[in-house]
């Protein structure tokens, strides 16, 4: 993923998945990292303390089927 | 990768900034006690403020603003008095709270001095260091972390003023894998250039696994290196990053705190506080002095000094830029500890903003007799690795390092 795409991926998460508060204020954490080529947004909500990771789903695959 | 706003919020520590407010909840070391033995004042830059640490004629320490309220002369050039520090220019006298006690050339009846105040902060000494507290009252206790109060050890204090932001220095401590590169492969490359044998160097094994757990005093770091299993001390015990700004490392023979004190957004006062542990049955001489030394960042020619571990770390911190640009960083899975630390900073900041005490602000005397921190000692399965390579660490700049090693081996306890 290129720098520009990574920048766009950083904007993937905008609201807390638990309480719905906006994560725009810098006191919330939205931190992008990469795991085996996938961009992951780690987020932490200042309002309710929830944290999670979000990955944009761009392709649906079922890898276990291949073992058949 | 972070947004620009988030990078600024996390790195800025000046008065009124969120992270500055968080740091103002902690006692921060600003000098070695020995520095004020043969001089009366020391200029201190702390959290974006210019201050002067001084000792009055009674021997009492004070920390006040460096600029005289009259016309701005540096109080570092001041004259110590019985009960405070006097400006050299026109003699205004201030006490440790920054209150103006005298204005010798104003009329006797003047109350002008009562309206004049410069900043004045609390200071305390522990374990050979002087700590300052810049936050709201009531001040918490000065935490008695184990190495500050440990008995029968030889201490050294190293320092450096590092021309970069504090956060990239702390993030280095949440980044275990740099060990095998910066202090492993890169160190071997330095050896190669210096004509020193490379094979003997013990730190280049690959990391199989790293782990991070939040605990009462910060984050415990764990690692499993190639050839180790999960029952090794490096994994089971690990060692902590003490919130918000201290790393603890150690082994059988030496334990060390690395304390990162933000001077301002682009300078960090770094302290290496080491306790050398004597061999079983060896008694360290009472009152053996704590030596103080500077760990150099660069040599006379302006090149980074990279033939010791801390010089390699400093090179890495400083070359990231004055304030690392996290809007262009590309983190991978090995950087998860860094993300956890950022989250912890924001979480504890949220506590401060709710009016609560953040992590490691201690007010309970019973808890503060000694705060024992976890520390693996059989490091990488090599045992006394750190002390064994004391000359490849910052401690090599302690003028008495050879003597310290002799004392700890029990060869000099009678003669010193
Ligand atoms: S490989 Fe980590 S900074 Fe270059
Ligand atoms: Fe390092
Ligand atoms: Zn929330």
Ligand nearest to the CA of A48: 3
pLDDT (0 to 100) of residue B415: 45
Residues in chain B: 416
**How near does any CA of chain A get to the CA of B165, in Å?**
18
Distance B316 CA to ligand 1 centre (A): 9
Ligand nearest to the CA of B350: 3
- Domain boundary (B133, B167, B189) is at B133
Neighbours of ion ligand 2 (CB under 5 A): B 313
Q: Which residues of A touch B3 (CB under 8 A)?
A: 10, 26, 30
DSSP secondary-structure letter at B164? S
Distance B390 CA to ligand 2 centre (A): 15
Q: What is the pTM of this model?
A: 0.95
Ligand nearest to the CA of A47: 3
Distance A68 CA to ligand 1 centre (A): 41
Q: Examine the domain organization and report whether B103 and B158 are in the same domain.
A: no
pLDDT digits (tens, 9 = 90+) for B305-325: 999 999 999 999 999 999 999
ipTM, two decimals, is 0.92
Cα gap B399→B411, rounded to integer Å: 18
| Regions in chain B scoring below 70 on pLDDT | 382-388, 412-416
**B168 to A28, B245, B309, B317, B393: CA distances (angstroms):** 19, 11, 17, 6, 20
Of B218, B146, B142, the C-alpha closest to B372 is: B146
In the numeric block, the tokens 């103080």 are attached to: B292
Q: Is residue B141 part of a domain?
A: no
Residue of A31, A42, A51 best to disrupt the B interface, most CBs of B under 10 A? A31
Cα gap B246→B173, rounded to integer Å: 9
Q: Examine the domain organization and report whether B126 and B157 are in the same domain.
A: no
CATH number of the CATH domain containing B57: 2.102.10.10
In chain A the first and final C-alpha atoms are separated, in Å, by 32
Instruction: For A27, name the nearest residue in chain B, comparing CA atoms only.
Output: B346
Q: Does A28 touch chain B (CB under 8 A)?
A: yes
The answer to whether B349 touches B22, Cβ cutoff 8 Å, is yes
Q: Which residues of A touch B351 (CB under 8 A)?
A: none
Q: How many domains does chain B have?
A: 2
Find out whether the peptide bond into B138 is cis, omega within 30 degrees of 0: yes
**A67 to A36, A63, A64, B212: CA distances (angstroms):** 21, 8, 6, 34
Instruction: Decide if A26 and B347 are in contact by the 8 Å CB cutoff.
Output: no
Q: Nearest Cβ partner of A6 from B1, B18, B353?
A: B1
What is the secondary structure of B311-335 as a DSSP string?
HHHHHHHHHTTTTT-TTS----GGG
Cα gap B314→B169, rounded to integer Å: 8
Instruction: For B339, name the nearest residue in chain A, comparing CA atoms only.
Output: A31
Cα gap B332→B347, rounded to integer Å: 22
Distance B270 CA to ligand 2 centre (A): 14
- Domain boundary (B133, B163, B188) is at B133
Q: Nearest Cβ partner of B5 from A3, A26, A31?
A: A26
Count CB pairs under 8 A between chains A and B: 63
The answer to whether B215 touches B231, Cβ cutoff 8 Å, is no
Confidence of residue A60 (pLDDT cuts 50, 70, 90): confident
Q: Examine the domain organization and report whether B321 and B276 are in the same domain.
A: yes
DSSP secondary-structure letter at B279? P
Q: Is residue B138 part of a domain?
A: no
Q: Is residue B356 part of a domain?
A: yes
Q: Examine the domain organization and report whether B153 and B106 are in the same domain.
A: no
**B214 to B92, B264, B336, B347: CA distances (angstroms):** 49, 27, 13, 12
Cα gap B258→B273, rounded to integer Å: 6
Q: Is residue B383 part of a domain?
A: yes
CATH number of the CATH domain containing B391: 3.90.380
pLDDT digits (tens, 9 = 90+) for B32-91: 999 999 999 999 999 999 999 999 999 999 999 999 999 999 999 999 999 999 999 999
Confidence of residue A65 (pLDDT cuts 50, 70, 90): low
Q: How far is CA A38 from the centre of its chain?
A: 10
Q: Does A55 touch chain B (CB under 8 A)?
A: no
Give the gyration radius of chain A's Cα atoms. 14
Cα gap B338→B319, rounded to integer Å: 18
B73: helix, strand or coil: coil
Q: Is residue B334 part of a domain?
A: yes
Q: Examine the domain organization and report whether B358 and B272 are in the same domain.
A: yes
Q: Does A41 touch chain B (CB under 8 A)?
A: no
- Domain boundary (B81, B108, B133) is at B133
Ligand nearest to the CA of B183: 2
Instruction: For A32, name the nearest residue in chain B, comparing CA atoms only.
Output: B1
Q: Examine the domain organization and report whether B113 and B153 are in the same domain.
A: no
Q: DSSP strand E in B237-354: where? A: 239-242, 246-250, 254-264, 267-276, 291-294
Does an H or E element contain B169, and which?
A: helix B166-172
Q: Examine the domain organization and report whether B249 and B384 are in the same domain.
A: yes
pLDDT (0 to 100) of residue B168: 98
Q: In this structure, is the dihedral angle defined by the CA atoms of residues B94, B100, B105 and B109, taken in order, positive or negative?
A: negative
Percent composition of chain B: helix, strand, coil (DSSP 3-state, to 5): 30, 30, 45
Q: Which residues of A touch B353 (CB under 8 A)?
A: 27
Q: Which residues of B touch A32 (CB under 8 A)?
A: 1-2, 331
Q: Is residue B16 part of a domain?
A: no
pLDDT (0 to 100) of residue B282: 94
Domain containing B67 equals: 27-133
Cα gap B219→A8, rounded to integer Å: 31
Instruction: Decide if B346 and A27 are in contact by the 8 Å CB cutoff.
Output: yes
- Under an 8 Å CB criterion, which residues of B touch A? 1-3, 5-6, 8-10, 18, 327-328, 330-333, 335-336, 339, 342-343, 346-347, 349-350, 353
Q: Examine the domain organization and report whether B36 and B76 are in the same domain.
A: yes
Instruction: For B19, name the nearest residue in chain A, comparing CA atoms only.
Output: A27
Token pair, residue B149, equals 């109060």
Give the gyration radius of chain B's Cα atoms. 23
Q: Examine the domain organization and report whether B118 and B167 are in the same domain.
A: no
Instruction: Decide if B331 and A44 are in contact by the 8 Å CB cutoff.
Output: no
Q: Examine the domain organization and report whether B169 and B90 are in the same domain.
A: no
pLDDT (0 to 100) of residue B387: 62
Cα gap B188→B27, rounded to integer Å: 39
Q: How many CA atoms lie within 13 A of B229 on its CB side?
A: 1
Cα gap B323→B345, rounded to integer Å: 17
Q: Examine the domain organization and report whether B87 and B214 are in the same domain.
A: no
The answer to whether B188 touches B349, Cβ cutoff 8 Å, is no
Q: Examine the domain organization and report whether B161 and B264 are in the same domain.
A: yes
Q: Does A3 touch chain B (CB under 8 A)?
A: yes
pLDDT (0 to 100) of residue B388: 67
Query: Which of A4-13 are b and which e, b meaning 16 or more Cβ less than 10 Å from the residue's Cβ?
Result: eebeebbeeb
Q: Is residue B414 part of a domain?
A: no
Instruction: Decide if B1 and A10 are in contact by the 8 Å CB cutoff.
Output: yes
Q: Is residue B123 part of a domain?
A: yes
Q: Which residues of B touch A51 (CB under 8 A)?
A: 343
């Amino acid at each position: 993923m290129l720098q520009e795409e990574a920048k766009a991926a950083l904007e993937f998460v905008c609201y807390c998945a638990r309480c719905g508060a906006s994560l725009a204020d810098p006191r919330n954490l939205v931190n992008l990292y990469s795991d085996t080529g996938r961009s992951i947004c780690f987020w932490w909500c200042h309002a309710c303390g929830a944290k999670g990771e979000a990955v944009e789903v761009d392709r649906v695959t079922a890898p276990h089927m291949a073992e058949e | 990768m972070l947004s620009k706003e988030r990078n600024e919020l996390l790195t800025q520590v000046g008065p009124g900034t969120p992270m500055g407010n968080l740091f103002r909840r902690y006692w921060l070391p600003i000098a070695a006690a020995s520095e004020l033995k043969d001089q009366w004042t020391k200029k201190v830059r702390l959290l974006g403020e210019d201050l002067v640490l001084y000792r009055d004629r009674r021997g009492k320490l004070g920390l006040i603003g460096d600029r005289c309220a009259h016309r701005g002369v540096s109080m570092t050039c001041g004259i110590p008095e019985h009960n405070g520090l006097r400006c050299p220019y026109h003699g205004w006298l201030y006490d440790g709270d920054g209150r103006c006690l005298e204005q010798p050339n104003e009329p006797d009846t003047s109350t002008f001095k009562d309206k004049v105040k410069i900043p004045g902060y609390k200071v305390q000494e522990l374990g050979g260091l002087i700590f300052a507290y810049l936050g709201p009252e009531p001040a918490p206790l000065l935490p008695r972390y184990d190495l500050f109060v440990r008995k029968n050890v030889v201490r050294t204090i190293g320092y450096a003023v590092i021309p970069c932001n504090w956060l990239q220095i702390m993030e280095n401590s949440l980044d275990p894998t740099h060990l095998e590169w910066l202090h492993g492969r890169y160190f071997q490359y330095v050896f190669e250039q210096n004509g020193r044998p490379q094979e003997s160097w013990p730190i280049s094994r690959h990391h199989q696994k790293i782990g991070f757990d939040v605990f009462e005093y910060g984050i415990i770091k764990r690692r499993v290196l190639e050839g180790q299993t999960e029952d090794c001390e490096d994994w089971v015990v690990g060692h902590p990053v003490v919130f918000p700004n201290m790393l603890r490392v150690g082994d059988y023979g030496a334990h060390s705190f690395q304390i990162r004190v933000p001077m301002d957004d682009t300078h960090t006062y770094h302290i290496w506080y080491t306790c050398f542990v004597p061999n079983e049955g060896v008694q360290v001489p009472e009152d053996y002095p704590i030596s103080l030394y500077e760990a150099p960042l660069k040599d006379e020619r302006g090149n980074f000094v990279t033939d010791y571990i801390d010089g390699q770390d400093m090179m890495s911190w400083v070359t990231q830029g004055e304030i690392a640009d996290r809007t262009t960083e590309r983190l991978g899975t090995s950087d998860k500890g860094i993300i956890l630390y950022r989250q912890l900073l924001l979480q504890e900041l949220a506590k401060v903003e709710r009016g609560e005490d953040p992590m490691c602000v201690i007010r309970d005397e019973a808890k503060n007799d000694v705060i024992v921190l976890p520390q693996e000692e059989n490091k990488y399965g090599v045992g006394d690795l750190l002390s064994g390579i004391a000359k490849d660490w910052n401690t090599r700049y302690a003028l008495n390092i050879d003597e310290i090693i002799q004392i700890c081996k029990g060869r000099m306890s009678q003669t010193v």
